[in-house]
Amino acid sequence: MRYPAERKEAILKKMAPPMSITIPELAEQEGITATTLYNWRKQARARGQVLPSRSNEPDQWTSQEKFQIVLETAPMNEAELSAYCRERGLYP
């Protein structure tokens, strides 16, 4: 079954901070198989999106996830970094 791109993006946003809803929870809420959601997350990560896997807490993210955040925020000034962190529920 194919899902509309808008729905897929909305679900991927739910996986990202600050919401960081787990895949099993999303599967139950959205009625989409967990396998499909894991595949979407894998594809999004390959495109460079930051989608934590194990925990809502940034200190439990993988090194790769943390490094991706550093790469995204490196060129930002202080105001941009603050806005970025607020949007994602992170603290610099």
What does pTM read for this prediction? 0.64
pLDDT of residue 37: 92
Average confidence score pLDDT of the chain: 83
- Band (pLDDT 50/70/90 cuts) for residue 67 is confident
Rounded CA-CA distance 18/16 in Å is: 6
Tokens matching residue 13 = 């946003």
The DSSP H or E segment spanning 70 is helix 63-73
